[in-house]
Amino acid sequence: MKPGLLSTNEVSNMLKVNESTIKRWTEKGSLRCIKTPGGHRKYKMKDVVDFMDTFSYDVTDLLVPAKENFSKVPVSTDYAILTKDFSALSELFYNTMLEGNRENTFQFLNLLYSNRISQIDLFDKIVVPSFQKIGMQWSVGQLGIEQEHLASNTALHSILKLQDVISRRPKHGGIALCGCLEEEYHEIGITCVNNILDANGWTTYYLGANLPVESFVDAIESYVPHIVCVSTTTPKSQKHVLQQCNALRETTSIINAKLIVGGGIPDVLKKKLPADHIPSSIADLVIYVNSLPITKRVHA
């Protein structure tokens, strides 16, 4: 089948009606279709979505539960988008970023975003699992370091480019500072955090990877943020993370800012971390920051 076109059977599964009902709606003109030279009906996803909009179809009823593992059966991108099959979409994103084509990877994310997959779901449910697969394959030698680097750079570029097309909430005056602790080079997660905050009306200052703690403290003093978002995944030691977070917390408490720490933090460390919040996901972060009061800040 031509990519992007759905069969009568696929549409009937989505709308949970018989194929004969789909044919009747098509003949009535309620649902647009394309006739192939062989006389078969094919449907564009956009037309199915328009139909659902027009007839107030309950889309939530159509969602299929996310699968635990990556889908073994290749499905069309359109079908995966419509059914919000995050497992299949992660697999597609994984393949795209490993090819190393930045433009295609951006176009893929943009396609999902344009089809109502939220930026939060893009990060938590598509980017993160794709990278978990990369990390797992790298650790057992199925992927080379060069492939992991190519995929990371391709994904990072496409995530940054996507930010240019994301619709933003108006600025509400909140200021956020985002960066990684010293010797931390995993910066895709904190880039996602920065972009989500930017889309949610925060003015963000992005400090990137591997920031010496003294410089982080200086930045807090200069920008007087409401929230400081810190990422740590592979620290030298737990002691090192605690020392750095203690120094940051000392400064954030003076200016009444919240210290938010994320990344791959083991449970034992979570208990000791001097953080105001340790979100388990981007979705969790958004709920937390939306609950914060924003007071007017005066820059030093």
Q: Which residues contact ligand B12 (rule: CB under 6 A)?
A: 123-124, 127-128, 131-132, 134-136, 139, 148-149, 152, 156, 183-190, 192-193, 229-231, 233-234, 260-264, 279, 281-282, 285
Is 8 or 105 the residue whose CB approaches ligand B12 more closely?
105
Residue 180, beta-bridge partner list: 231
Q: Say how far apart CA 296 and CA 300 lie, in whole Å.
A: 13
Is 11 or 289 the residue whose CB approaches ligand B12 more closely?
289
Q: Say how far apart CA 282 and CA 190 lie, in whole Å.
A: 10
**Minimal distance, residue 120 CB to ligand B12, in Å:** 9
**Minimal distance, residue 130 CB to ligand B12, in Å:** 8
Is 144 or 264 the residue whose CB approaches ligand B12 more closely?
264
Is 229 or 257 the residue whose CB approaches ligand B12 more closely?
229
Is 19 or 148 the residue whose CB approaches ligand B12 more closely?
148
Chain centroid to Cα 140, Å, comes to 26
Residue 34, beta-bridge partner list: 42
**Minimal distance, residue 14 CB to ligand B12, in Å:** 28
Structure-token pair, residue 156: 């990072």
**Minimal distance, residue 159 CB to ligand B12, in Å:** 8
**Minimal distance, residue 129 CB to ligand B12, in Å:** 9
**Minimal distance, residue 169 CB to ligand B12, in Å:** 18
Is 55 or 185 the residue whose CB approaches ligand B12 more closely?
185
Is 33 or 97 the residue whose CB approaches ligand B12 more closely?
97
**Minimal distance, residue 275 CB to ligand B12, in Å:** 9
